[in-house]
Amino acid sequence: MEYSGVILGIVIGTLAAIVYSLRVLVLMERRIARIDSHIEALVLEVLRKEEKIIAEEDKIERLLGAKSPKAKAKKPARKKAKKK
């Protein structure tokens, strides 16, 4: 009967360790979620800036009268077969 107190202490200690580990996991998950939201905000900001830059490039190309890069890409002409 002397060992029952030791076993009870071990069980309570193990349960306390599990609860503490779960607390740490929850805190880490919240921190990761916050980091993820910050990364998403940065990506959206970069996309907005990139769209502005592309719009400015298109505007400059229209003002200069240059063709857009899409229009510049042409298929190569087919070679005619020589008759013998």
> Looking at the domain assignment, is residue 76 inside a domain?
no
Q: With a cut of 80, say whether residue 3 has pLDDT above it.
A: yes
Place of tokens 């830059």: 53
Would 22 be classed as within a structural domain? yes
- Would you say residue 49 lies in a domain? yes
- Answer yes or no: is 13 within a domain: yes
When divided into structural domains, the chain yields a total of: 1
Per-residue model confidence as pLDDT tens digits over 13-70: 999 999 999 999 999 999 999 999 999 999 999 999 999 999 999 999 999 986 655 5
CA distance 40 to 28: 18
Range of the domain at 27: 3-64
**Does residue 41 fall inside a structural domain?**
yes
**CA 30 – CA 28 distance, rounded (Å):** 5
Q: What is the pTM of this model?
A: 0.55
61 within 8 A of 68, measured Cβ to Cβ = yes
Going by C-alpha positions, the residue among 46, 26, 45 that lies closest to residue 34 is 26
What lies within 8 Å, CB to CB, of 61 at 6+ separation is 67, 68
Token couple for 22: 């779960």
79 within a domain of the structure (yes/no): no
What is the per-residue pLDDT for 38? 97
In a domain? residue 8: yes
Nearest to 11 by CA among 26, 19, 24, 22: 19
In a domain, 71, yes or no: no
